[in-house]
């Protein structure tokens, strides 16, 4: 390839006319000559697909722009043709100017008949996309017993007599005792467990504890406005006579629930009832170009139809939060996001780190260099709708439209918060290849590039790499994602569901001292 003359468009994407770098779309060898229309670029070193090619000289200390925004400062002089990555690009600590509500737009109203999906109508007015029975644990001490109970109902034929029950799952965790229930961490765990307890994707619940924990079994359901049709049983191992007796009794309680839960039927509901969780994991240099903006397009379609979508992962919007505050419906909403950013700065500092410790090694191997670059691509999942609300971790999602939830960037912890908040479908973008699932909510996995999609085709739902390949437009892929959301909400299985993945990915965020 080194001896072949090519145009910049043949080998890279220049996302904005004034950007200093272009994203390489296929591996480039050193010495490759690239025509720009006004001159030529000689590639100075081998550059892997997804990484950045300098199209302008940048002096040491100068800002490097991508997406029309600074993604960092040059730690050494950068010349046209250079590979721009960790060896010559570092963090840009310049304070962003935060405006509030200056970029609010009205999304175009959908045309045609209102869209519907087939869901489970709960008696509290919410509509589920799945119909599970959950075994929720109040403490880690009851985790093994919960798994033993749930295992009796797993397998290809275990629920053949109950076709309208999606499964029996155990929600286990590492906490529930040794912490102060009224502390920030204790309240966060309680909020998470209670959020799952009232999730519309559950038709029945068995709440299981040991009996002496600091967060008792009854606290997980007391005071909740649970649907009157939801079946709820509570047990403790100590009162039931030990593990074996508990498992026998728990299995019998669930067997009694199954015929009743199975009576539920899917019925039409407006897509305005859907709550879409937006998350990413294993991002690469294409995430902000293909899967994330295509998901943002689908998110806007849902919001325009009266539905709800929620972005998350606060450490992975750091450096791009100014783009979100401009979309806030009020100064108070925008300020709440900034307050959470400040909380994270103090939290990471107390742990001896900083928010710019991100991206991960895998992200960097895929072409991402700084948290600014990663965040600018990550916020694209949120489309362009105005930001109607900012939620704390696992807080109930109550506002229609586009919102944001404060979660860590660690995928299972982040999505656990979104599902606890009420998300009934999750879309998960990945460039390196994630095998994520999140029962009881279906997870649609969106690949950012074709090579990874083909390599892991049995783990991916949609190939957004076609945008780079030139075989589909961003809008076409976004529409496909939107249609898949509706189909999955109506019962179509995702690949992670087909593999029965999603029980072990329930991981509540743990904060605070353990005594």
Same domain, 132 and 69: no
| Phi, psi torsion values for 96, nearest 5 degrees | -80, 150
Q: Is the peptide bond before 377 cis (omega within 30 degrees of 0)?
A: no
Q: How many domains does the chain have?
A: 3
Residues 235-247: tens digit of each pLDDT:
999 999 999 999 9
Residues 355-392: tens digit of each pLDDT:
887 788 999 999 999 999 999 999 999 999 999 999 99
Cβ–Cβ under 8 Å, residues 394 and 191: yes
CATH number at residue 80: 2.30.130.110
Same domain, 261 and 290: no
CA angle, 313 then 424 then 449, to 5°: 55
**pTM listed for this prediction:** 0.96
Same domain, 235 and 287: no
Same domain, 153 and 65: no
Q: What is the pLDDT along the chain (515 residues), one digit of tens a residue?
A: 444 679 999 999 999 999 999 999 999 999 999 999 889 999 999 999 999 999 999 999 999 999 999 999 999 999 999 999 999 999 998 988 899 999 999 999 999 999 999 999 999 999 999 999 999 999 999 999 999 999 999 987 899 999 999 999 999 999 999 888 899 999 999 999 999 999 999 999 999 999 999 999 999 999 888 888 899 999 999 999 999 999 999 999 999 999 999 999 999 999 999 999 999 999 999 999 999 999 999 999 999 999 999 999 999 999 999 999 999 999 999 999 999 999 999 999 998 888 887 788 999 999 999 999 999 999 999 999 999 999 999 999 999 999 999 999 999 999 999 999 999 999 999 999 999 999 999 999 999 999 999 999 999 999 999 999 999 999 999 999 999 999 999 999 999 999 999 999 999 999 987 87
Same domain, 125 and 257: yes
What domain range includes position 33?
5-90
DSSP reduced 3-state for 229: coil
Same domain, 470 and 360: yes
- Per the listing, tokens 């049995």 go with 458
Q: Is the peptide bond before 359 cis (omega within 30 degrees of 0)?
A: yes
Nearest to 387 by CA among 429, 428, 336: 336
Cβ–Cβ under 8 Å, residues 297 and 478: yes
Number of alpha helices (DSSP H) and beta strands (DSSP E) in the chain: 15, 24
Cβ–Cβ under 8 Å, residues 49 and 23: no
Is 275 within a domain?
no
DSSP reduced 3-state for 278: strand
Same domain, 421 and 492: yes
Same domain, 13 and 72: yes
CATH number at residue 183: 3.40.50
227: enclosing H helix or E strand: none
Cβ–Cβ under 8 Å, residues 243 and 210: no
Handedness of CA 60, 61, 62, 67 (dihedral sign): positive
| Phi, psi torsion values for 288, nearest 5 degrees | -80, 0
């Amino acid at each position: 390839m080194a001896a072949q003359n090519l145009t910049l468009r043949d080998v890279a994407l220049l996302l904005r006319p004034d950007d200093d770098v272009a994203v390489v779309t296929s591996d480039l060898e050193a010495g490759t000559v690239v025509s720009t229309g006004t001159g030529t670029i000689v590639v100075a070193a081998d550059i892997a697909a997804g990484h950045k090619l300098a199209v302008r000289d940048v002096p040491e200390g100068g800002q490097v722009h991508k997406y029309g925004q600074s993604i960092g400062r040059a730690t050494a002089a950068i010349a046209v043709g250079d590979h721009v990555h960790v060896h010559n690009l570092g963090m840009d600590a310049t304070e962003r100017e935060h405006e509030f509500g200056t970029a609010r737009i009205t999304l175009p109203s959908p045309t045609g008949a209102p869209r519907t999906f087939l869901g489970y109508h709960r008696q509290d007015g919410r509509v589920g996309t799945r119909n599970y029975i959950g075994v929720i644990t109040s403490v880690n001490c009851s985790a093994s017993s919960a798994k033993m109970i749930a295992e009796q109902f797993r397998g290809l034929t275990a629920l053949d007599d109950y076709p309208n029950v999606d499964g029996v799952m155990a929600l286990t965790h590492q906490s529930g005792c040794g912490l102060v229930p009224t502390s920030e961490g204790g309240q966060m765990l309680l909020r998470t467990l209670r959020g799952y307890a009232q999730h519309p994707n559950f038709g029945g619940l068995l709440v299981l504890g040991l009996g002496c924990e600091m967060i008792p079994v009854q606290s997980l359901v007391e005071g909740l406005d649970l649907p009157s049709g939801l079946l709820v049983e509570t047990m403790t191992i100590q009162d039931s006579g030990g593990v074996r007796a508990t498992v026998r009794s728990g299995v019998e309680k669930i067997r009694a629930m199954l015929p009743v839960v199975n009576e539920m039927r899917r019925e039409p509901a407006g897509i305005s009832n859907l709550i879409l969780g937006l998350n990413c994991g294993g991002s690469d240099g294409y995430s902000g170009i293909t899967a994330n903006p295509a998901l943002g397009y689908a998110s806007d379609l849902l919001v325009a139809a009266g539905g709800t979508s929620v972005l998350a992962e606060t450490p992975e919007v750091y450096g791009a939060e100014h783009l979100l505050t401009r979309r806030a419906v009020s100064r108070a909403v925008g300020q709440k996001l900034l307050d959470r950013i400040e909380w994270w700065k103090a939290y990471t500092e107390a742990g001896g780190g900083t928010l710019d410790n991100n991206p991960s090694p895998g992200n960097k191997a895929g072409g991402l260099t700084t948290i600014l670059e990663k965040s600018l691509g990550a916020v694209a999942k949120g489309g362009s709708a105005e930001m109607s609300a900012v939620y704390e971790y696992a807080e109930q999602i109550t506002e229609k439209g586009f919102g944001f939830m404060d979660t860590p960037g660690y995928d299972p912890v982040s999505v656990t918060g979104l599902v606890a908040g009420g998300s009934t479908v999750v879309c998960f973008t990945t460039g390196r290849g994630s095998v994520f699932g999140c029962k009881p909510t279906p997870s649609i996995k969106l690949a950012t590039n074709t090579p990874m999609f083909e390599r892991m085709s049995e783990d991916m739902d949609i190939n957004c790499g076609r945008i780079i390949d030139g075989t589909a437009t961003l809008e076409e892929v976004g529409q496909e994602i939107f249609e898949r959301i509706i189909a999955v909400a109506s019962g179509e299985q995702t690949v992670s569901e087909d593999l029965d993945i999603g029980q072990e990915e329930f991981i509540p965020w743990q904060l605070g001292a353990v005594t």
